[in-house]
Amino acid sequence: MTNVVIDTNVLVSAVLSPNGNPAQVLKIVTDSEEKSLYYSSEIIGEYRKVLSYDKLKIGNEEKTRAIDLIQRIGKRINPTVSTITLPDESDRIFYDTAKECGAILVTGNIKHYPTEPSIMTPADFIISLKTDEM
């Protein structure tokens, strides 16, 4: 079983570009019985806030569908807050949630997190799954 946490930028990219790697990650995670998606209430709040940015031009229906999918498929937890230093404090909720449940954190902002094998880009996550299948 692979546990996964999806950063906001991956969810936004999945909604905006349904054929890209982020959309593929979301599909893999939500369609597979071998993957468990985790989130916290703070993550849902961040998803809602960012998906509502006018500049993204994401309709209410698309936003609602994406968040409902995460909440329906995922497992909600209340992570312990870490003391690790991060360049962007708003990323802590994703890092802490992933650490709490031993998940892979899939993010397009890899430089915002420590270099750890459990933190990867959408492309690296997809490659890792293909490698595991061999």
Domains annotated for the chain, with CATH where assigned, are 2-133 (3.40.50.1010)
**C-alpha dist (Å) from residue 127 to 7, 41, 120, 131:** 18, 29, 10, 6
Say if residue 134's pLDDT is above 70. Answer: no
Using CA atoms, how far apart are residues 22 and 106, in angstroms rounded to an integer?
A: 9
pTM for the model: 0.94
Structure tokens at 96: 């802490």
User: Using one digit for the tens of pLDDT, what is the confidence trace for 22-42?
Assistant: 999 999 999 988 899 999 999
101 — alpha (psi -120 to 50), left (phi > 0) or beta? alpha
Residues 68-125 have pLDDT tens digits of: 999 999 999 999 999 999 999 999 999 999 999 999 999 999 999 999 999 999 999 9
Instruction: Dihedral sign for Cα 32, 35, 40, 43, please.
Output: negative
State mean pLDDT over 43-59.
96
